[in-house]
């Protein structure tokens, strides 16, 4: 079975000042998180600004990431949307050689019923040549995937995991209590990783692990006391990553760490001076 336990890093997409892709920065970032003890890479998720990438750019980012990774870690690729037929077509047209699984977000904007969500994911899982990870993030998509929906989809042989970012621990507990033994419940919220571990979660797909992969290694693989201590160390810094939308704060943090530039694409803009000062003060 594909091993996606521990820390998956939701990689940012480094950019130059003119907002073109920074391939040197991508390689530097991947070497940084691999050296820090990450367990797998997630390419072109929300943190990677996938919403403002062209199809050609997404292919370039994936190609560079696969090359820079050099078979060191599994790679998960973000491939989803709110038009089921368009997602199926993208699966057909994307070369997934070197990709171990796809991460597919719950359809946004349309507000489908739970039955519609099940039909959407079933079509994707039937079509995908690699395993599928569900992604529930109602703060962005509006629609929440109920625990019963996740559990129904967990029985599909090509659906292997759920990235849960609802922030609803009772919902997570209902999934953990009834999910198949080989199904993975992955935290989609950095700060809930330790709590999710305690109920049977397998780790996190993390934003802040771009900057601090070694801390997340402790959070995901250390004993409970070490995990708690590590997660508490991020309490001041973590909210700043989202204050002006992800990955604005994170990209400034990465610039301060000397990994890459802090450029983001419109409609996002670089961090305000106030946010920059607070990030510098809270840095570990």
pLDDT at 249 over 80: yes
Q: Is 47 labelled as part of a ligand binding site?
A: yes
Q: Are 255 and 247 in contact (CB under 8 A)?
A: no
DSSP state for residue 74 in the 8-state scheme: -
Residue percentage of the chain with pLDDT more than 90: 99
Could you give phi then psi for residue 99, rounded to 5 degrees? -100, 130
- The per-residue pLDDT for range 116-168, each reduced to its tens digit, is 999 999 999 999 999 999 999 999 999 999 999 999 999 999 999 999 999 99
pLDDT, the chain, mean: 97
Q: Which residue has the tokens 């009772």?
A: 170
Domain extents in the chain: 6-235
Catalogue the active-site residues.
Answer: 135, 163
Q: What pLDDT is attached to residue 2?
A: 84
String of DSSP letters for 161-177 = EEEE-S--HHHHHHHHH
Helix axes 147-154, 114-127, angle to 10 degrees: 30
Q: Is 205 labelled as part of a ligand binding site?
A: yes
If you average pLDDT over residues 37-53, what whole number do you get?
Answer: 97
At 96, the pLDDT band (50, 70, 90 cuts) reads very high
- The per-residue pLDDT for range 189-244, each reduced to its tens digit, is 999 999 999 999 999 999 999 999 999 999 999 999 999 999 999 999 999 999 99
Other C-beta atoms lying within 10 Å of the C-beta of residue 109:
11
pLDDT at 280 over 90: yes
If you average pLDDT over residues 237-263, what whole number do you get?
Answer: 98
Q: What pLDDT is attached to residue 105?
A: 98
Q: What pLDDT is attached to residue 284?
A: 84
Q: What pLDDT is attached to residue 37?
A: 98
Q: Which of 8, 87, 13, 85 is nearest to 46 (CA)?
A: 13
Q: Structurally, what CATH architecture does the domain formed by 6-235 represent?
A: Alpha-Beta Barrel (3.20)
- The per-residue pLDDT for range 158-176, each reduced to its tens digit, is 999 999 999 999 999 999 9
Q: What pLDDT is attached to residue 177?
A: 98
pLDDT at 1 over 90: no
Q: What pLDDT is attached to residue 149?
A: 98
If you average pLDDT over residues 257-273, what whole number do you get?
Answer: 98
pLDDT at 14 over 70: yes
């Amino acid at each position: 079975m594909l091993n996606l336990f521990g820390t998956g890093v939701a990689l940012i997409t480094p950019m130059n000042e003119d907002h073109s892709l920074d391939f040197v920065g991508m390689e530097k970032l991947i070497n940084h998180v691999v050296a820090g003890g990450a367990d797998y890479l997630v390419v072109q998720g929300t943190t990677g600004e996938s919403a403002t990438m062209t199809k050609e750019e997404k292919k370039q980012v994936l190609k560079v990431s696969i090359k820079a990774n050099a078979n060191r870690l599994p790679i998960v690729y973000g491939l989803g949307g709110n038009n089921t037929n368009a997602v199926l077509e993208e699966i057909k047209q994307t070369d997934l050689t070197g990709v171990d699984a796809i991460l597919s977000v719950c359809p946004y904007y349309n507000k489908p019923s739970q039955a519609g969500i099940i039909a959407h994911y079933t079509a994707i899982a039937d079509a995908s040549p690699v395993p599928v990870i569900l992604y529930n993030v109602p703060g962005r998509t509006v629609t929440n995937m109920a625990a019963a929906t996740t559990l129904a989809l967990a029985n599909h042989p090509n659906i292997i995991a759920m990235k849960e970012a609802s922030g609803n621990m009772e919902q997570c507990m209902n999934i953990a209590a009834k999910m198949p033994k080989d199904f993975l419940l992955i935290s989609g919220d950095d700060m809930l990783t330790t709590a999710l571990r305690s109920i049977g979660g397998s780790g996190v797909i993390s934003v802040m692990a771009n900057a601090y992969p070694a801390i997340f290694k402790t959070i995901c693989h250390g004993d409970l006391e070490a995990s708690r201590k590590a997660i508490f160390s991020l309490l001041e810094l973590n909210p700043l990553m989202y204050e002006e939308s992800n990955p604005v704060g994170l990209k400034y943090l990465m610039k301060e760490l000397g990994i890459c530039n802090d450029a983001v694409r419109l409609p996002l803009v670089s961090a305000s001076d106030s946010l920059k000062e607070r990030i510098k003060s809270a840095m570990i």
